Amino acid sequence: MISLVYGIIESPSAALAREAARPAGNGGLGPMAATIAGGTPAFRLNSPGWINAGPDIVQGVAGTQALTEYCRARLLNRVSVFALALRSFLSAYVDFAVAEVERRRDELEARLRALGLPADDGFPTYRDWVFSALLPVPQVHVAMPGDADPVAVDVLFWTGRSALALTLEGRTMPTPRQRRAQEAMLAAHPAMKAATLAVPADGHSWALCELAGHFDGALLPDTGLPFGPYRILAG
């Protein structure tokens, strides 16, 4: 099992202790914490729980584009305003997911028609597949066995089969202590693997096609219908 807290957390150790003390059955994905075990579904933009929006938001966000921008804003609100590289990555990732849906438009519209659904101006539309993209859980701290300190991870993805701990690699090299902490994390959590992604020199041109190659499945699921606003905002 992998337990983690994410976002702007003042004391990761204390936050993880609070999560561990909650009654059993409160696992899965929440607005500031997650528990990953065998059978935990992939974390996607349409996963309930992480947005945690109230009825006023449900009524105020209408349409795929508006909800996409709301997802972007919620991701950015989870991280420090000083984490420039991470904020740039999260925004670029949302743009990448939108572009991937557009690239596969013909295929996705064909899926809707095969199910007897209108491909144009229907509900759902092919664009709603953007919410099936894997969720980049930002500014993560992963719980470690015993009294070991939580290990910080820039971004974590859960595909339903494995977790990818992504480090945004800048001009500075990780310290020996940071390397040892990550090695210990990977040893403690066999379902987790690590990858790095270079921070682009211009701060914007991320090599996200390279990132997609690390997933053990597609960025978007190959089967099923897209889930749009109601599933996300209900969480």
Q: What is the phi-psi region of residue 155: left when phi exceeds 0, alpha when psi lies from -120 to 50, beta otherwise?
A: beta
> How much is the pLDDT for 217?
58
> How much is the pLDDT for 26?
45
Please report, in tens digits, the pLDDT of each residue of the chain (235 residues total): 899 999 998 899 888 888 876 654 445 888 899 999 888 888 999 888 888 766 566 566 667 888 899 899 999 999 999 999 999 999 999 999 999 989 988 888 888 888 777 766 666 788 888 988 999 999 999 999 887 889 999 999 998 888 999 999 875 667 888 889 999 999 999 989 999 999 998 878 888 888 877 876 577 776 677 766 555 555 4
Picking from 25, 28, 23, the residue whose alpha carbon sits closest to that of residue 3 is 28
- Enclosing domain of residue 131: 2-226
**Does residue 11 fall inside a structural domain?**
yes
> How much is the pLDDT for 7?
93
**Does residue 232 fall inside a structural domain?**
no
Picking from 154, 128, 139, 138, the residue whose alpha carbon sits closest to that of residue 220 is 128
Looking at 104-167, list the stretches that DSSP marks H as alpha helix, in order from N- to C-terminal side: 105-114
Picking from 66, 100, 77, 71, the residue whose alpha carbon sits closest to that of residue 211 is 100
**Does residue 173 fall inside a structural domain?**
yes
> How much is the pLDDT for 61?
67
> How much is the pLDDT for 113?
83
Q: How many other C-beta atoms lie within 10 A of the C-beta of residue 157?
A: 22
**Does residue 50 fall inside a structural domain?**
yes
Which pairing describes strands 28-29 and 33-36: parallel, antiparallel, or unpaired? antiparallel
CB-based contacts of 213: which residues, under 8 Å, 6+ apart? none
**Does residue 103 fall inside a structural domain?**
yes
**Does residue 235 fall inside a structural domain?**
no
pTM for this predicted structure? 0.89
CB of 231 closer than 8 Å to CB of 48? yes
CB of 211 closer than 8 Å to CB of 166? yes
Task: Tell me the C-alpha distance between 15 and 1, whole Å.
Answer: 17
> How much is the pLDDT for 60?
67
**Does residue 204 fall inside a structural domain?**
yes
CA angle centred on 50, ends 13 and 75, rounded to 5°: 90
Domain total in the chain = 1
**Does residue 98 fall inside a structural domain?**
yes
